[in-house]
Chain A
Amino acid sequence: MDRSALINVVDLKKHFVVGKKMILKAVDGITFDIYKGETLGLVGESGCGKSTAGRTIIGLYEATDGEVIFDGRSIQGMDKRERKDFTRRAQMIFQDPYASLNPRMTVTDIVGEGIDIHELYKGDARQQRIYQLLDLVGLNREHANRFPHEFSGGQRQRIGIARALAIEPEFIVCDEPISALDVSIQAQVVNLLQDLQKQFGLTYLFIAHDLSMVRHISDRIAVMYLGAIVELAPSAELYKKPMHPYTEALLSAVPIPDPTVERNRQRIILKGDVPSPINPPPGCKFQARCPKCMEVCKRVTPELKELEPGHFVACHLYDKENQ
């Protein structure tokens, strides 16, 4: 696999001011690379900042601090022309196939909008391109003049995928693309995403809360907790050898559809809920729920360190003086 980075995320922060002296630190200093042609999975529980991270990386939110470097250029410093070029090369697929399609536009209008903005095809070539895209995602040509409400959830998600592919992007942020769909339909959409990746050499940032699905589709996985990345590793490695206590608990909480496995499993049940990201305490974000919390965790924020080749962990348990 080509290991050159398409995107470097450098100490990216996104804070929201939610009231007087109240700052919601949705994304609080995350750093990672996304390699060309890979799928990087971003997992975490609701409110951990994974969607905000995805939206900031693609430029839908203005970053509070830090940088996103796409193919060597920082998207924060781009001028108008560069920005337009970036939006052609990076696209997004959204979670809710009901809310992310304009109900008053036909499928042709929805899929063709990007083509028009970037002036890629005109006239008959444009129509042919739209038909081609519909074929590609498993829809019929007859669907071209229909409105979104005439489609099922799975079909709508296919329209969303066709829209993202219309302008031949290199990078797609998939923000929970299947969590609104039924199990038997989820597999259809995931297989489609994988086939398209192979065909066009796409790079994905796949955001989801479903760990089984993320492991299934990703080459590498980053685990987020309260705005920070606590662990990042190749997906098989992360599953076999989780090093952060949160990753361990998260993996053990996922039920496996096999009664024999379930009977012989020991669960790590975490106490309590995810704390609020508004004005979080100093130190490790996971300290309040961590079964292995130490004194240092309450004072010093652990850094994300490469403990083994390609396996990054942010935890004081692996500091030299604590071993």
Chain B
Amino acid sequence: MAERLLTVENLAVCFETYAGEVQAVRDVSFYLDKGETLAIVGESGCGKSVTAQTVMQLIPMPPGKIKAGRVVLDGVEISALTDKQMESVRGEQISMIFQDPMTSLNPTMKVGKQIMEVLIKHQDMDKKEAKEKAVEMLKLVGIPKPEKRVDQYPHQYSGGMRQRAMIAIALACNPKLLIADEPTTALDVTIQAQIMELMQDLQQKLHTAIILITHDLGVVADVADRIAVMYAGKILESGSLDDIFKNPQHPYTWGLIQSVPRLDRKTRLIPIEGTPPDLIAPPVGCPFAARCQYCMQICRDQYPDKTAIKGNHYVHCWLQHEMAPKVDNPLAKGGNA
């Protein structure tokens, strides 16, 4: 039986803007087991990054505001910790890597020093020990000539190496949870393949749980154990890798899978018409209703409850209701054939 590492309950986050209050995350709950990889997928603006930053408590307040919700990490309710207490959680128990490795590293500091900083703060190492460990970390993430590279600045690294350095910083204290926010989006495919392989390799070695935030379904199919599909601040569907790809239940998930081209097949793409809703005044009912070809009256009036499909596979959709018309799942049995 897998051990529970992280539980997020009923999270709601909003941002104050001139135009009004943007409801970025609306009642999101999910969990993560030790050593597991959960992928949160969705388009830009769906709230996936805000969710991750809330777990890390990195939301700037103001303009941000956490309206509701609890985050429990390994039995400790970290959402109730003070800023000071949180400092010892960040970097030691949870780490994060970002999309753009150039802007997330400090350009005026040597890479080695940026790794040492974490070690000196969290593990009380002295400078010499920390530097040795920094070289070791750079070696672990596959940077050639780590003894020389440790004294170089980020601009002397290539894009792929910078992301490796970020991973080295994130994993220096062997955290229980690594949050990777679009870690390969800014990289080329051949470098992306290198970084994804490295992350999987390190996960096995260090037994770290990973929350992977991405819009790339290909990357998800490669590395995730479970998937949560987010749209307009809500998780519409969640389940195991096979649940979501082989037997998805939500029309948005269908649309998402059918709108991406595949290298191994050639079919006409089926786009999702329209655009996501404005989260300043989010729709009362299902947020996908306006773009959904199966939309019913009730979808516009009321948000559907969670329905369990099988095991850990959950969906929020009125089509699951016993009175709903039967709809042929375009993706049932073997992916997008």
Contacts and interface: CB of A to CB of B under 8 A. Distances in A.
Interface of A: 45-46, 152, 154, 182-188, 190-191, 194, 209, 211-213, 215-216, 235-236, 239, 249-262, 267, 269-270, 273-274
B160 A273 contact: yes
Interface string B263-298: 110101111110100000000000000000000000
B266 A215 contact: yes
Interface in B317-337: 334-336
A163 B206 CA distance: 53
B218 A255 contact: yes
A270 B191 CA distance: 8
Most buried by B among A209, A235, A259: A259
23 contacts: A154-B275, A184-B43, A184-B255, A184-B256, A185-B271, A186-B260, A187-B271, A212-B263, A250-B189, A253-B189, A253-B192, A254-B189, A255-B196, A255-B216, A258-B221, A259-B245, A259-B246, A260-B334, A260-B335, A261-B221, A269-B194, A273-B161, A274-B188
Nearest to B191: A273
Contacts of A254: 189, 218, 263
A253 B190 contact: yes
Contacts of B197: 267, 269
B100 to A, nearest CB: 14
A216 B268 CA distance: 8
Contacts, number: 128
B264 A188 contact: no
Contact of A216 (B222, B245, B266, B270): B266
Nearest to B188: A45
Nearest to B192: A253
A270 B190 contact: yes
Nearest to A182: B43
B273 A188 contact: yes
Nearest to B159: A273
A179 to B, nearest CB: 10
Interface of B: 43-44, 158-161, 188-194, 196-197, 215-222, 241-242, 245-246, 255-257, 259-264, 266, 268-273, 275, 334-336
By secondary structure, the A interface counts as helix
Nearest to B245: A259
A235 B264 CA distance: 11
Contacts of A250: 189-190
A209 B263 contact: no
Contacts of B43: 182-185
A186 B269 CA distance: 10
Contact of B256 (A183, A255, A259, A274): A183
Contacts of A186: 259-260, 271
A259 B224 CA distance: 9
Given A184-B259, A250-B190, 11 more contacts: A45-B188, A184-B256, A251-B263, A253-B190, A255-B216, A258-B221, A258-B245, A261-B264, A262-B221, A269-B190, A269-B197
A119 B208 CA distance: 65
